[in-house]
Homo-oligomer: A and B are copies of this chain.
Amino acid sequence: MTSRSLPTITVFQRSPDGGRGLARDMRVRWALEEVGQPYDLRPVSFAAMKAPAHRARHPFGQIPTYEEGDVTLFETGAIVLHIASRHDGLFPANADGRARAVNWMFAALSSIEPVIVEREMARHLERDEPWFERRQHLVEDRIRARLGDLSRRLGDADWLDGGFSAGDLMTADVLRRLVGSGLLEEHPNLAAFVARAEARPAFRRAFDAQRAFFGAADVGT
């Protein structure tokens, strides 16, 4: 019965990354663990994601979505902001600090993630094109420019603006997409920032939960 009032997130039925936690539900699970809010899951297949029932929740036919009471959200930025607004633990108490944390959330999603996604899209869709190798260098230089700026701003601080916030959570989860690419590793302070974020107990719980879910689903098939 209590389960009825839990927020529900949609997740991939089968992990495209083998449980490495690179899908965007990871950042929502992580935020919920940071604030101690349990949640329910609704797994969707790749086919169901593009069908009308899911499109009603997510017009672009992706995951995750977040449903709580009468509200349905489909952008991870809005979902994490919603969670951070309704619970303690992800936003500073003062209004200015909160505005700056929100600023880092938008920076992660609109200034840093898009060029990282562009690199991934090219690797999926343009790998056989004659321009792939040359263009990949151009895209990686655009990523390097962003990471260089971010690295200089972070300096030797633990987090981007004082204590850990939803801005750090989103930035770290976006940068996780680059782990192992060599690009993140060019900036030891950014690599350490991601490692510090991944060492948080809430991150570990969220990561283990998604891995266990996908492991169980694989066994069951």
Tally of chain A residues near chain B (CB < 8 A):
45
Interface-located stretch among A9-17, A29-37, A96-104: A96-104
For residue A105, CB closer than 8 A to chain B, the reply is yes
Interface hits, A110-126 → B, CB 8 Å: 110-111, 113-114, 117-118, 121, 125-126
For residue A128, CB closer than 8 A to chain B, the reply is no
For residue A21, CB closer than 8 A to chain B, the reply is no
Residues of B within 8 A of A100 (CB): 71, 73
Q: Are B110 and A75 in contact (CB under 8 A)?
A: yes
Interface residues of A (CB under 8 A from B): 55, 59-61, 69-71, 73-78, 81-82, 96, 99-100, 102-103, 105-107, 109-111, 113-114, 117-118, 121, 125-126, 129-131, 134-135, 138, 142, 146, 149-150, 152-153
Chain B, residue nearest A121 (CB): B142
Chain B, residue nearest A154 (CB): B59
**Within the assembled complex, what's the spacing in Å between the Cα atoms of A99 and B60?**
18
Q: What would be 19 A-B contacts, judged by CB atoms less than 8 Å apart? A: A55-B149, A55-B152, A60-B149, A61-B149, A69-B96, A70-B96, A71-B99, A73-B99, A73-B103, A75-B110, A76-B106, A77-B77, A78-B106, A81-B106, A110-B113, A114-B114, A114-B117, A125-B138, A135-B135
